[in-house]
Amino acid sequence: MAKRKPEPEPENPEPQKTLNRGDSAERDTTPENPEESPETRKWSLNDFEIGKPLGRGKFGRVYVAREVKSKYVVALKVLFKKQIEKYNIHHQLRREMEIQTSLRHPNILRLYGWFHDEERIFLILEYAHGGELYGLLRENTCLTEKRAATYILSLAQALVYCHEKDVIHRDIKPENLLLDHEGRLKIADFGWSVQSKNKRHTMCGTLDYLAPELVQNKAHDYAVDNWTLGVLCYEFLFGVPPFEAESQKDTFQRIVKVDLSFPATPQVSAEAKDLITKLLVKDTSKRLSLQKIMEHPWIIKNADPTGICNN
């Protein structure tokens, strides 16, 4: 499975503080006054000890960090203002921050607050010890039906919560899903999310996970997230997205036609295929609802309702 490669980032100075060896243990506390409004809590880099890098992307890097007073371990996402200006994403970033800060769900990564200096913007995020779900897929190629069902149930529960708050995620994919120290799944990136009661018209997301209405530039709503759960379920069980093709054009055509087929191997149950088939439906009114996903026989039979996956 090929990684969707991030673009190179500009050379910018990194935070200089470091954690001592062995100092990354988690604690059952939260950053001091985590519920305080980011506008009233005056965070700064001096509030954190910065540890190892966790990842890098087009606009910056992510580090493990520890809040000095509470000793609580967080992830610090460092974004470079030059890149934000270059790509003119001020509005998108502010929307992402406002949406993620407002969400409180066990399967959604918390954004505790943010601060900035002359060159950088810092997002204070919940630390997910298990890293990206993409890494787990790369190591194992395919997941067991029990693990796959547990993740789909967790995602459905999180999306029910989001949709009740009029939030459409629009970019659910393995790179945007993290795992905590117990193996619980967390939706981590809300860069393409929108909060609206109305249908949207912006084409956004990642190629293999786009719903037909997005590919065809039609108005879309919450059902695009339901479609993505079908794509993910397929990828969890078969190791590749269902509409993967040699070119972008061919992938688009397969999505629009819902050119869906199931390989003979690995062996996957008829119930799992039934769920996937009912999610990957072009007519959004006939696409399986989140509630029906959670009630599906395959989910009932296989998913751990605690959401914990450690094996």
CATH number at residue 49: 3.30.200.20
Structural domains of the chain, count: 2
Where residue 240 sits, what CATH number does that domain have? 1.10.510.10
**Residue that the structure tokens 């149930």 belong to:** 153
Phi, psi for 152 (deg, rounded to 5): -65, -40
**21 bridge partner residues:** none
Question: Is 171 assigned a catalytic role?
Answer: yes
Confidence of residue 159 (pLDDT cuts 50, 70, 90): very high
Domain coverage including residue 207: 132-302
Is residue 37 one of the residues assigned to a domain?
Answer: no
Q: Please return the burial class of 270, using the count of CB atoms within 10 Å of its CB with bins 0-12, 13-18 and 19+.
A: exposed
**Which of 170, 160, 31, 30 is closest to 96 using CA atoms?**
170
Q: Quote the CA–CA distance of 304 and 177 in Å, as a whole number.
A: 18
What does the alpha-carbon distance between residue 249 and residue 251 come to, in Å, rounded to a whole number? 5
Residues 244 and 158 reside in one and the same domain: yes
Question: pLDDT tier at 197 (50, 70, 90 boundaries)?
Answer: low
17-41 average pLDDT score: 40
pTM score of the predicted model: 0.85
Give the model's confidence band at 205: pLDDT under 50 very low, under 70 low, under 90 confident, else very high: low
The pLDDT, as a whole number, for residue 35 is 47
**pLDDT tier at 193, thresholds 50, 70, 90:** confident
Candidate from 2-6, 57-61, 174-178 with smallest mean pLDDT:
2-6
Residue 40 burial by Cβ neighbours in a 10 Å radius (0-12, 13-18, 19+): exposed
* Residue-level pLDDT at 59: 82
What is the pLDDT at residue 60? 84
Same domain, 167 and 59: no
Q: Which of these three, 101, 126, 151, is where a domain ends?
A: 126
Cβ(151)–Cβ(185) under 8 Å?
yes
201 and 296 both lie in a single domain: yes
**Domain check: are 65 and 90 in the same one?**
yes
Among 47, 171, 189, 208, the active-site one is: 171
